[in-house]
Structure 1
Amino acid sequence: MDNPDKAAQAATRAEREAFYARIGADNLAPLWEQLHNLVTPTPRSDCQPAHWSYQKVRPYLTEATGLITAEEAERRVLILENPGLRGKAAITTSLYAGLQAILPGEVARAHRHSQSALRLILEGDGAYTSVNGEKTIMRRGDFVTTPSWTWHDHGNDSDAPMIWLDGLDVQLVGMLDASFAQSSQADRQELLRPVGDSQMRYGNGLAPMDWQPPANKASPLFSYPYERTRASLHAMQSAGEADPCHGYKLRYIDPLTGGPPMPTMGAYAQLLPAGFDPLPYRCSSGTVFAVLEGRVLVELADRRFLAEPNDVFVIPSWAEHRLVPQEKSVLFSFSDRPVQEALGLWREQRGGASGSL
């Protein structure tokens, strides 16, 4: 004899499914069927830990320079696609990253877009980027910004290729349906100020009398030279104890507000001393790292890999990890932390799963 309870349950399911089908025709859906997937106890991200070896990727960049010119491509970039987000041009659920190459004599023509962009110089010395009429000479380790809706072009007047890591808030802007872009008729924008002008105006604890925050809420300082960053990290090391999770870590700031260089992306520099044994750490912002000096063993719950100079890797939201230096190491990183902080969403956990939130 059939179980009456099972028969009743089957009838109820059938009745509900029929109801769901009827309301679906009018673009409605039952929240109770999806609530557990929408409001989760901890983040559930399709982003996966991933590691790009520069030694492996660098030949692909060389090959790309022979296949397409900077003029044809507008930006000759290999996208770093997260294996959990293939086809979305995403390295985390909110951010894009890629490796851009420009050969001697090439120009990546001027354009502007609503997406904010950053670049970390990985290889070469002497190419430039121009932002809103100011040229910045780029060297390895420099952190350079092109804030939202600023004209920018790149050129290489040196005698060797230049390669850098691009980071943009493409996915975040796309999610908001706020993408706009415009191309210039000229390859190079007109220079309106001398090289280093913004550094002299804003980088010495000073600002013009009539300065007002720009509409894009970005730092007026476009270039953060690695020479200064490295000196600051070593000064921090000589002055105090290391943070038990991060070693010695600094955030890049807008010198006039103390906020992030751009409102959607935070950028950070981190020194891990030789022999440093970090505590486990995790936070709610998926983070992209690049190694500038040394070698770092990246330890996650189910994966370990060794990151070497110019390698790029990503740690997803709420993935517990340790960054263990194999020698003195310096890392650059960027994430969407400023957005999460502005919305009151950002969280971290130190010292493992038993640590406080």
Structure 2
Amino acid sequence: MNSSTFHEQPTQTPERLAFYAELDRHDLGALWEVLGKLGSLEPRPASVPAHWNYDDLRPLLMKSGSLISAEEAERRVLVLENPGLRGRSQITGSLYAGLQLILPGEIATSHRHVASALRFIVEGQGAYTAVDGERVSMRPGDFIITPSWTFHDHGNIGEEPVVWMDGLDIPIVNLFDTGFAQKYAGSTQPVTRAEGDALARYGTNMLPVEYTRYGSTSPVFSYPYERSREALARLVRSGPLHPSHGVKLQYVNPATGGAAMPTIGTWLQLLPAGFDTAAYRSTDGTVFSVVEGSGYSVIGGKKFAWKPKDIFVVPSWVNVEHHADDDAVLFSFSDRPSQQALGLWRDEAISS
């Protein structure tokens, strides 16, 4: 038996092949014929290491803005398709990602869906997103949540294009055949709360006395980059640095201490100039967006150079090492909370 194979397929004989054909007529199959595909000694992701250079993507984004309106498109997004998963609108086996463009004066109309969504702002100012009656301004580096089944719309009242990365758990929702969606009656929802209301109520290590937990998504739906960046800078100065992550913080639900989203984990990390991380791997395929700095990552033995606004992906159980040429900040997201809830997640530091 091949040591890298969980199960070696038995020899096929004319009698066995005839039997398999008989099984097929009854909508049956032989487990021993497919066990090597169903089970493996370790993860075998279909997704592959990949890198998207923002300098290449931006002209295509702007071209899309001249070809189709936000209204006609519903959401003007260029989907980030993993090269190993082409045609499936997936960046990893469980997650969707794309780059969304909204031009000055445009509105992306209000709708809702079961899939949970994150927005990580890449470029531009002057746009907003509205979630259940509250609008929040979008600035580069901000992390914003659209919880499952909440009405949301976007608008650009500024003077420049705004681009953000969308991350959704659509493949997870579709796996369970639980996808629902609905359009709002109007193009935008009424604004019923002042900007910053949610952050004031839930984002200061305090909760309103009448707060009742509903669901497991954070009641704070906007995490400003300025606050998160300051925390990273303080921790880098005080040390110590984690050998595989530098300084890495998880965005959390302040009401529970758990992940900000029930199915998607989100992080921000700082790698000081010249820092080399130790090799690491985990079962959650992870998407990275470069906020600041430049450097490179070695993913599964392949080197990918990156700079601000670039995006790259590390598949499940693939070794990764990061090197920062100068102070670098990376945002990342994965399906880790889903795996942890099911008792599936594991990680490993790789000895040199």
Whether TM exceeds 0.5 here: the answer is yes
Query: What is the letter of the counterpart of residue 262 of structure 1?
Result: M
The answer for the alignment partner of 2:293 in structure 1 is 294
Q: Which deviations, in whole Å up to 9, do the C-alpha atoms of 1:203-223 show, x marking residues without a partner?
A: 0111122222224x2111010
Structure 1 segments of 4+ aligned residues over 6 angstroms from their partners: none
Looking at structure 1, the residues matched to 350 and 235 of structure 2 have their Cα atoms a distance apart, in angstroms, of 22
The answer for the alignment partner of 2:61 in structure 1 is 61
SS at match of 2:14: helix
Shift, 1:36, TM fit: 2.1
- Identity, % of aligned positions: 51
Query: What is the letter of the counterpart of residue 46 of structure 1?
Result: A
SS at match of 1:189: coil
Looking at structure 2, the residues matched to 23 and 66 of structure 1 have their Cα atoms a distance apart, in angstroms, of 55
The answer for the alignment partner of 2:271 in structure 1 is 272
| Residue correspondence of structure 1 range 14-29 to structure 2 within 5 A | 14-29=14-29
Q: Which runs of 5+ in 1 are unaligned?
A: 1-8
Q: Larger Rg: 1 or 2? A: 1
CA contact 2:127–2:158 (8 Å) conserved in 1: yes
The answer for the alignment partner of 2:221 in structure 1 is 222
CA contact 1:245–1:351 (8 Å) conserved in 2: no
- Could you say what the CA RMSD is over the residues aligned between the two structures, in angstroms? 1.3
The answer for the alignment partner of 1:203 in structure 2 is 203
Shift, 1:300, TM fit: 2.4
Q: Which deviations, in whole Å up to 9, do the C-alpha atoms of 1:318-341 show, x marking residues without a partner?
A: 110101111110000000000111
The answer for the alignment partner of 2:162 in structure 1 is 162
When normalised by structure 2's length, the TM-score is 0.95
When normalised by structure 1's length, the TM-score is 0.94
| Residue correspondence of structure 1 range 1-357 to structure 2 within 5 A | 13-215=13-215, 217-352=216-351
Looking at structure 2, the residues matched to 300 and 122 of structure 1 have their Cα atoms a distance apart, in angstroms, of 23
Q: Which moved more, 1:269-278 or 1:201-210?
A: 201-210
Q: Which deviations, in whole Å up to 9, do the C-alpha atoms of 1:152-180 show, x marking residues without a partner?
A: 00000111110000000011111110100
Equivalent pairs counted in the alignment come to: 343
SS at match of 1:34: helix
Looking at structure 2, the residues matched to 95 and 240 of structure 1 have their Cα atoms a distance apart, in angstroms, of 33
Shift, 1:33, TM fit: 1.4
Query: What is the letter of the counterpart of residue 204 of structure 2?
Result: N
Looking at structure 2, the residues matched to 343 and 318 of structure 1 have their Cα atoms a distance apart, in angstroms, of 17
Looking at structure 2, the residues matched to 135 and 206 of structure 1 have their Cα atoms a distance apart, in angstroms, of 22
Looking at structure 2, the residues matched to 296 and 173 of structure 1 have their Cα atoms a distance apart, in angstroms, of 35
Shift, 1:13, TM fit: 1.2
CA contact 2:281–2:348 (8 Å) conserved in 1: yes
Q: Which runs of 5+ in 2 are unaligned?
A: 1-9
Shift, 1:185, TM fit: 2.0
The answer for the alignment partner of 2:3 in structure 1 is none
SS at match of 2:126: strand
Query: What is the letter of the counterpart of residue 57 of structure 1?
Result: L
Query: What is the letter of the counterpart of residue 193 of structure 1?
Result: R
The answer for the alignment partner of 1:3 in structure 2 is none
Q: Which deviations, in whole Å up to 9, do the C-alpha atoms of 1:270-302 show, x marking residues without a partner?
A: 100111121111100000000000012111234
Query: What is the letter of the counterpart of residue 135 of structure 1?
Result: R
Looking at structure 2, the residues matched to 45 and 81 of structure 1 have their Cα atoms a distance apart, in angstroms, of 15
SS at match of 2:174: helix
